[in-house]
């Protein structure tokens, strides 16, 4: 069976891609953010995952406001990165892990998740930037993208997203393969890009949420989506990706986790940026 080695979580602000392209990592504005990643890269170098499942939110490449699935899973042989208008250089096509994609899809449908299956799927900065941050050179992993709607109401509840993550973790562990798998959460933490609360950041909540992923994984499921938006901002609700990642690692039956590393920095482009790496014990 496949080995689930752990989970990673990172912010995915488009400006990060421009900073990477322009070599600004050691500029004073960017250095506290980028300095968080070498310990995670070292851990990944030791663990050498073969596949990553990426929880992220699509920003209009596949789904727009007229058609917005709650959950969508990629089942493509490769995923192409398209120009989003941010000036971020597009990446080479990323290889998909078809066998795991279909295993996830079949498992999720069996568990009563009504998902959209995408045999063609473009990927945006939410999927590609974590790969660039964790593997600055050539990407050594294949991927399975899992898109969660955090763009347009109605949004899935934290409890439902947690249940999705648990089901994905169970599917990974039951996948008939010798490969190592990691789970990535892309998005957050607290931020709001528009409206009366534009620039809103809630450091206290962010830090408590990060702590909870280690000590009390279901803590955030006590809040409704509207409460999470109030506490984190309209875009900060992307923390649902982090919740799905943590749930995938397991919370019972001996599925303990160890915190490998974390970083928290504000602000980058009016956003509270977070980074965590959790190892399955």
**Active-site annotation, residues:** 125, 191
Length of the chain: 281
Distance CA 190, CA 274 (A): 9
Is 92:44 a contact under the CB 8 Å cutoff? no
Of 83, 59, 223, the C-alpha closest to 148 is: 59
The secondary structure of 94-133, three-state, reads EEECHHHHHHHHHHHHHCCCCCEEECCCEECHHHHHHHHH
Of 266, 233, 240, the C-alpha closest to 56 is: 240
Strands 51-56 and 78-81: unpaired
Distance CA 114, CA 122 (A): 21
Give the rounded distance of the alpha carbon of 61 from its chain centre.
Answer: 17
Tokens 């001996």 -> residue? 254
97 C-beta neighbours (distance < 10 Å), count: 24
């Amino acid at each position: 069976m496949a080995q689930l080695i752990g989970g990673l979580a990172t912010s995915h602000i488009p400006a990060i891609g421009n900073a990477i392209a322009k070599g600004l990592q050691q500029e004073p504005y960017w250095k506290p953010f980028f300095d968080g990643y070498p310990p995670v890269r070292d851990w990944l170098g030791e663990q050498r995952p073969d596949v990553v499942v990426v929880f992220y939110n699509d920003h209009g490449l596949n789904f727009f406001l007229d058609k917005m699935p709650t959950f969508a899973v990629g089942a493509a042989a490769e995923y192409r990165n398209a120009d989003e208008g941010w000036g971020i250089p597009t990446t080479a096509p990323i290889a998909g892990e078809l066998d795991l994609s279909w295993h996830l899809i079949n498992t999720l449908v069996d568990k009563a998740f009504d998902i959209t299956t995408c045999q063609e799927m473009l990927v945006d900065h939410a999927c590609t930037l974590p790969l660039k941050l964790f593997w600055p050179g050539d990407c050594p992993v294949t991927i399975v993208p899992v898109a969660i709607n955090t763009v347009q109401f109605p949004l899935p509840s934290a409890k439902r997203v947690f249940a999705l993550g648990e089901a994905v973790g169970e599917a990974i562990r039951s996948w008939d393969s010798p490969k190592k798998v990691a789970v990535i959460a892309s998005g957050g933490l607290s931020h709001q890009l528009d409206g009366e609360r534009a620039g809103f950041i809630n450091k206290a909540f962010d830090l408590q949420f990060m702590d909870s992923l280690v000590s009390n994984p279901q803590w955030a499921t006590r809040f409704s989506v509207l409460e999470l938006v109030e506490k984190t901002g309209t875009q900060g609700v992307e923390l649902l990706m982090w919740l799905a990642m943590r749930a995938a690692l397991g919370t019972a039956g001996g599925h303990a986790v160890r915190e490998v590393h974390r970083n928290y920095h504000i602000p980058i482009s009016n956003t509270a940026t977070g980074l965590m790496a959790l190892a399955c014990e």
